[in-house]
């Protein structure tokens, strides 16, 4: 029995979270929702409220802004289908968790720590042994399609986010992209350049 990883990407307000939730609800077993957002202002409070309204009481809800690797084992014990929404906010939280950067080495160290945390979560999912197959769905934003940001922190974030997305997509059994409310199966369309 192989646990499954599903990757759902798209732009802001594309409908990717709704697609991921519908996909999760189509699967059997207890649903778990790992919310990575933190309510620092009224706008974020409202966004979180909208997500909570959509989930209602169907889900076991877990608010984990940073250390998902410490909690994922217990969540898989309780739930058969887990939705992580979203990789983008999680990466942001990890990037800013220890304050400002003082040097390029500090940036490199922070990136290594983020990638290590993501890999640790993927490793737990793949190695988890239980009575039934587990499915973990990751939602993310596809942020690298625009111009190069003028702001240094935005460039750092864009680069790290791109690496996080590539890491999870490479591990995923299924990958989907939502554009303007329409979703395509990008894993099925993947082109191999290995001959």
194 counts as catalytic: no
Burial 95-108 (b: 16+ CB within 10 A, else e): beeeeebeeeeebe
Of 27, 51, 158, 187, catalytic: 51
Three-state secondary structure call for residue 189: coil
Burial 111-137 (b: 16+ CB within 10 A, else e): beebbebbeebbebbeeeeeeeebbbb
The two beta strands, 31-35 and 174-179, are: unpaired
Q: Which residue has the tokens 């983008």?
A: 88
Residues with active-site annotation: 51
């Amino acid at each position: 029995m192989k646990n499954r990883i599903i990757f759902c990407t798209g732009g802001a307000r594309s409908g990717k979270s709704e697609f991921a939730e519908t996909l999760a609800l189509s699967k059997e077993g207890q649903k778990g929702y790992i919310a990575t957002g933190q309510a620092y202002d009224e706008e974020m409070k409202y966004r979180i409220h909208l997500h909570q309204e959509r989930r209602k009481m169907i889900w076991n809800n877990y608010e984990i802004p940073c250390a998902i690797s410490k909690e994922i084992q217990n969540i898989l014990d309780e739930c058969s289908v887990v939705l992580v929404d979203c990789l983008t906010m999680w990466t942001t939280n990890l990037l800013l968790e220890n304050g400002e950067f003082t040097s390029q080495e500090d940036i490199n160290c922070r990136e290594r720590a983020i990638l290590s945390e993501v890999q640790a979560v993927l490793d737990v999912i793949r190695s988890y042994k239980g009575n039934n197959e587990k499915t973990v769905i990751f939602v993310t934003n596809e942020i690298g399609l625009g111009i190069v940001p003028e702001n240094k922190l935005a460039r750092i974030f864009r680069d790290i986010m791109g690496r996080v997305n590539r890491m999870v997509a490479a591990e995923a059994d299924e990958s989907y992209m939502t554009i303007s409310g329409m979703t395509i199966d990008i894993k099925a369309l993947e082109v191999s350049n290995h001959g």
